[in-house]
A = this chain, B = another copy of it.
Amino acid sequence: MQGVIMDNKGRMIVVSAPSGCGKGTILAEILKSHEYYYSVSATTRSPREGEVDGVNYHFISKEEFEKMIREDGMLEYAQYCGNYYGTPKKILYDKMEQGINVILEIEVQGAMKVKKLCPDAVFIFIIPPGINELERRLRKRGTESDEVIAKRVAEAAGEIKKAVNYDYILVNAALEDAVDDFKAIIRAEQMKIEYSKNKIDEVLENA
Interface residues of A (CB under 8 A from B): 127-133, 157, 160-161, 163-164, 166-171, 180-181, 183-185, 187-189, 191-193, 196-197, 199-200, 202-204, 206-207
In the complex, chain B residues whose CB is within 8 Å of the CB of A170: 191
Contacts of A199 in B (CB 8 A): 127, 169, 171
Knowing A181-B187, A187-B184, say if A193 contacts B169 (CB, 8 Å).
Answer: yes
- Decide yes or no: A169 and B181 within 8 Å by CB, A131-B207, A160-B204 being known contacts: no
**Closest CB-CB distance, A109 to chain B, in whole Å?**
18
Interface of chain A, main secondary structure:
helix
Residues of B within 8 A of A181 (CB): 187, 191
Q: Given A181-B191, A188-B184, do A203 and B127 touch, yes or no (CB 8 Å)? A: yes
Copies of this chain in the oligomer: 2
Closest to A128 in B: B203
Q: A170-B191, A181-B187 are in contact. Are A164 and B200 (CB under 8 A)?
A: yes
CB–CB A206/B129 < 8 A: yes
CA distance A196 to B164 in the complex (A): 9
A207 proximity list for chain B (CB < 8 A):
130-132, 157
Known contacts A129-B203, A169-B197, A184-B188; 20 additional CB pairs below 8 A are A127-B203, A129-B206, A130-B203, A130-B207, A131-B203, A131-B206, A131-B207, A132-B207, A160-B203, A161-B200, A164-B193, A166-B193, A167-B192, A167-B193, A168-B191, A169-B191, A170-B191, A181-B187, A181-B191, A184-B184
Interface centre among A167, A188, A192 (most CB of B within 10 A): A188
Give 18 CB contacts A-B under 8 Å: A127-B199, A128-B203, A130-B203, A132-B206, A133-B206, A157-B207, A163-B200, A164-B193, A164-B197, A166-B193, A167-B192, A168-B196, A171-B203, A184-B184, A184-B187, A185-B188, A188-B188, A188-B189
